[in-house]
A and B are shown apart, each in its own frame.
Chain A
Amino acid sequence: MTKGSPIIRFEGVSKRYGKVVAVDAVDLEVREGEFFALLGPSGCGKTTLLRMLAGFEVPSEGRILIDGQDVTNVPPNKRPVNMVFQNYAVFPHMSVADNVGYGLKVDGVGGAERARRVEEALALVKLDGLGSRRPDQLSGGQRQRVALARALVKRPRVLLLDEPLSALDAKLREAMRTELCQLQAQVGITFVMVTHDQDEALALADRCAVMNRGLLQQVASPSDLYEFPASRFVADFIGSVNMLEGALVVDEPDHAEVAVPGIDLPVFLDHGVTGAAGTTLWLALRPEKIELHKATPAPPALGDAPAGRNAVAGTITHVAYLGSESLYEVTLPDGQKLKALRSNLTRWDQEDFALGENVWLAWHACSPAVLLS
C-alpha cells in the first residue's frame, strides 16, 4: 500500500452506554503512515474511539475497517494493532526484556529470533542494555519506552497511543514529543494518538480530529485547525482566541464587512462570506494577530484594510509577561476585553506598553476567521 492511502476507516461508528452516547456516528479515515491525533476535552469520546480501534469496545453501530478488512467484531488479540497504555501497563513481575518479548512469545516466535527482535526494539527506544532491569527500577520515561518497544516489536500496522505524554513532567514531555516524531518517521508505522493536550496534538500530528460530545468537529492538519477552524468550538479549543459576535452588513465576492457591537466601523474582511445580510456570525481573532499601537488621534492604517477600519481604542487592564512574549488584556469602552500578544523581540521594550495606558488595537483584513456556527 502506498503512503497516503487510507489504512483505517470508521463507517458511521456509534457507541452507546445505556442512554449515554459516547461516540456519535463517526466517519473517519486515517491514512497509511501518518501521525494522527484524536483531540478533545475529557469525555468527548476520543478514548472510546481508540478503544474501539484496539478492540476493547465493540461499536453499537457502524463498521471499522483496517486495511480494508472489517475488524468490527475481531477481538483485540487478533487485530494488527498494538497499544501504548496511558499508564504504560508494564508487567511488574517481568524484566524489561520479558515485557518487550511477551507479544512475540505469545505468537510463538522462538528464542533466538525473539531475543534478536527484543534487542532491536530496545535499541529503537534507546533502552539498550536495560533488558534485565525490572520495571520498578525504571523511571516513568523509561517505562514509557518499554511500553513503546513492547508494542512496536510486534510490527503492528497501526500503533495506538492513549495520552502517551500525560504522565510525564513538563521538560520530559517536550523531549519525548520530538522523539515520538522521530520514532514514527523511523519505523514508518501509522500512529493514532489520543490526547486532551492541544499543544501536543499540534506539535506531533500530521492530521488531527477534534471531537466534542461524541461528535467529530473537524479533521484537518494542525495549521488548518488553528488558522481555519470550522466552528467556535474548534477555534476556542485550539489555542487562545478573541471571539467577536457580529452581523454581516456587506458581502461582495472580494470583500465583506461585519458590524461588531463595541467597534465603531464594521470590521473589514478581504474575502466574501456568502451569507444573507444580517446573518449572525463570529469572528475568531487570535491574540498574536492583533497589533498594539500607541494612542494617537487617528487609528493606525494597516496595509489591506481601508483607513479607519479594523482598529479599536481601549485601555490596557492587565499585562502578563510570559518571557518570550507578553499578553495584554485591553478593555474597550463598552467593557469588552480583547487579548493581544506581542513577541518580546528586544531585551527591553522601546515602546513600553504599560498598565492603564490607552492604546489602539489593529488587525489585518485577512486575520479574523469567519465562523458560521
Chain B
Amino acid sequence: MKGPLDYLARWPLRLWLGLVGAFLYLPLLALVVFSFNDSRRITVWRGFSLRWYAELFDDGELVAAFGNSLVIAATSTIISLILGTLAALLLWRFRFAGKAPLEALLGLPIVVPEICLGVAFLVFFTAIVPWPTELPWPLNLGAIIIAHATFSFSFVALVVRARLASFDGALAEAARDLGAGEWLIFRDIMVPHMVPGLVAGALLAFTLSLDDFVITFFTSGPDTITFPIKVYSMVRFSVTPAVNAASTLLILLTAGLTALALWLQGADIAKQAA
C-alpha cells in the first residue's frame, strides 16, 4: 500500500517541492549567509566574519530595543495566556445569551487588518487614554504590551478552545465522583488536558509579539523602540550586513522557540506512548 509520502517518489512532485522550498527559503538563506560577510557592501562576498554580530552587541540602542521586545513579548504572553484561557473556558463551559456574537468578536483581532488596529491604538493611546510616557522602564512599555495582548489573546483563546473541544466530560465527572470539587477538577484534570494548547498558545503569542511591526509602529514612542522597529530604522539609514545579522538573530530566536514547543509537545506524546 502506498503511504502519502510515496508520492514524493515521482519526479514532477519532487521538482515542485524543490521549487516551493527554494522560493520560500532561499531569501532567508541568503540573508543568513550575508550576515557573515566581511564587507560593507551587502551584495559582495568577501569572506567569513562575525564582525557584524560584534557590532550589533556594541550598539546600545539595538540591545535596548531587543530587551524591550523580550519584556513586551513575555508580559503580553502572560496576559494573553490568562485572558485567552479564561475566554476559552467560558465559551466551552457555559451557554448564555450573546455567546455567538462573543465568539465572533473573539476572532476579530485576527481578521481586522493590522494597519487598522495600529491606527486604532494610536488614536486610543493619544486621544482617549494617554499612556504616560515618562514612566520608568519597563512601565513605559505598557501601551505596547496592552496592544500586543489585545491581538494575541485571540490566538490563545482559539487554540485553547480547540483543545478543550476534545475534553472528555466523563473525566470531570469521574473526578467529581471521587470527591473532587470544582477547583480540584480544574487543577488536576482540566489543566493537564489543556497543556498542549497552553504551550502552543503561549508560543504563538510570544512570537507574534516579538516580530510584530505594524501595530508596534503606531504605539511606540522614541523611548520605546522594539527590535523590529529598530531594524526597520537601520534599513532606512543604510543597508549594512548588521541588518542581516539582526534579522538572523530574530529568525534563530523564533525558530528556536517553535522547535522547543514542538519538542515539548513531542516529549509529552512520547512519554504517553512509551
Contacts and interface: CB of A to CB of B under 8 A. Distances in A.
Interface of A: 54-56, 75-78, 81-83, 85-87, 89, 91-93, 102-103, 106-107, 134, 136, 147, 150-151, 154
A85 B176 CA distance: 12
Interface in B157-187: 168, 170-171, 173-181, 184
A76 B177 contact: yes
Contact of A56 (B173, B178, B180): B173
Interface stretch (B2-10, B90-98, B112-120, B188-196): B188-196
A284 B273 CA distance: 54
B184 A106 contact: yes
Given A102-B178, A106-B184, A136-B273, A76 B173 contact: yes
Contacts of A75: 176
15 contacts: A75-B176, A76-B173, A76-B176, A77-B176, A77-B177, A83-B174, A85-B170, A86-B170, A91-B174, A91-B189, A93-B272, A102-B175, A103-B179, A106-B179, A154-B179
Nearest to A106: B179
A147 B174 CA distance: 9
Interface of B: 168, 170-171, 173-181, 184, 188-189, 192-193, 271-274
B178 A150 contact: yes
Nearest to B184: A106
A81 B177 CA distance: 8
B168 A102 contact: no
Given A89-B171, A92-B272, A136-B272, A82 B189 contact: no
A99 B68 CA distance: 45
Contacts of A78: 179
Given A106-B184, A134-B272, A89 B179 contact: no
B177 A106 contact: no
Contacts of A91: 171, 174-175, 188-189
A85 B178 contact: no
Contacts of B178: 77, 82, 102-103, 106, 150-151, 154
Contacts of A85: 170, 173-174
A102 B272 contact: no
Given A81-B177, A83-B177, A92-B193, 20 more contacts: A56-B176, A76-B176, A76-B177, A78-B179, A82-B178, A83-B174, A86-B170, A87-B168, A91-B175, A91-B188, A91-B189, A93-B192, A93-B272, A102-B178, A102-B180, A102-B188, A147-B174, A150-B178, A151-B178, A154-B179
